[in-house]
């Protein structure tokens, strides 16, 4: 699965996307994977929403290998 980072999370991870070789994960497992790779993400977790295939993820949603996942920090458009 592909995971995208935006705005300040690009600074935190040092990249704008990574490829995660993982089977289906729930939100908790996904966060565990990501924090394993980028411990600094932990500080942002409370404010970051997950998106799957261009929509905000809902509680209990599973993320699978073909999904495009994005970490959405607080937005500030307009």
Q: Could you list the residues that contact another protein (CB under 8 A)?
A: 4, 6-8, 11-14, 36-37, 39-40, 43, 51, 54-56, 70, 72-73, 75-78
- For 47, the 3-state DSSP assignment is helix
Q: What is the 3-state secondary structure (H, E, C) of 8-46?
A: HHHHHHCCCEEECCCCCEEHHHHHHHHHHHCHHHHHHHH
Nearer to another protein, 16 or 23 (CB): 16
Q: Which is nearer to another protein, 26 or 38 (CB)?
A: 38
Nearer to another protein, 25 or 69 (CB): 69
């Amino acid at each position: 699965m592909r995971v995208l980072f935006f705005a300040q999370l690009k600074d935190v991870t040092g990249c704008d996307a990574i490829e995660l070789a993982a089977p289906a994960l729930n939100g908790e497992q996904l966060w565990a994977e990501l924090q394993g790779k980028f411990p600094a993400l932990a500080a942002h977790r409370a404010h970051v929403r997950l998106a799957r295939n261009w929509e905000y993820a809902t509680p209990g949603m599973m993320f699978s290998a073909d999904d495009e996942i994005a970490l959405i920090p607080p937005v500030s458009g307009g």
